[in-house]
Amino acid sequence: MERGRKPQNCNYLYILSRSFNEQYLYEVKKIAVFASGAGSNAARIIDRFRVHKSIHITLIVCNNPDAGVLNIAEKENIPALIIEKERFFRGDAYIKELKEKKIDFIVLAGFLWKIPDTLIKVFRDKIINIHPALLPKYGGKGMYGPAVHEAVIAAKEKESGITIHYVDELYDHGKIIFQAKCPVPENDNAGSLAQRIHALEHEYYPKVIEDLIVK
Task: Report how far residue 105's alpha carbon sits from residue 103's, in angstroms, rounded to the nearest whole number.
Answer: 6
Residues that bind ligand GRF (CB under 6 A): 35, 37-42, 109-110, 130-132, 198, 201
Query: Least Å distance between CB 202 and ligand GRF?
Result: 8
**Shortest distance (Å) from residue 193 CB to ligand GRF:** 11
Is 131 an annotated catalytic residue? yes
Tell me the residue nearest to ligand GRF as measured from the CB.
Answer: 110
- Nearest one of 197, 211, 200 to 29, comparing CA atoms: 211
Return d(Cα 29, Cα 104) in angstroms, integer: 6
Least distance to ligand GRF from the beta carbon of 43, Å? 8
- Minimum distance of ligand GRF from residue 122's CB (angstroms): 22
Distance CA 94, CA 138 (A): 31
Q: Which is nearer to ligand GRF, 132 or 206 (CB)?
A: 132
Of the two residues 58 and 163, which places its CB atom closer to ligand GRF in the complex?
163
Q: Which helix (H) or strand (E) holds 81?
A: strand 80-82
- Integer Cα distance of 117 and 168 in angstroms: 8
Nearer to ligand GRF, 109 or 127 (CB): 109
Contact 169, 133 (CB under 8 A): no
The distance between the two most distant Cα atoms of the chain, rounded to a whole number of Å, is 68
Distance, CA of 87 to CA of 96 (rounded, Å): 12
Task: Indicate the residue among 92 and 210 with the shorter CB distance to ligand GRF.
Answer: 210
Residue of 131, 149, 173, 198 marked active site: 131
Catalytic residue numbers? 131
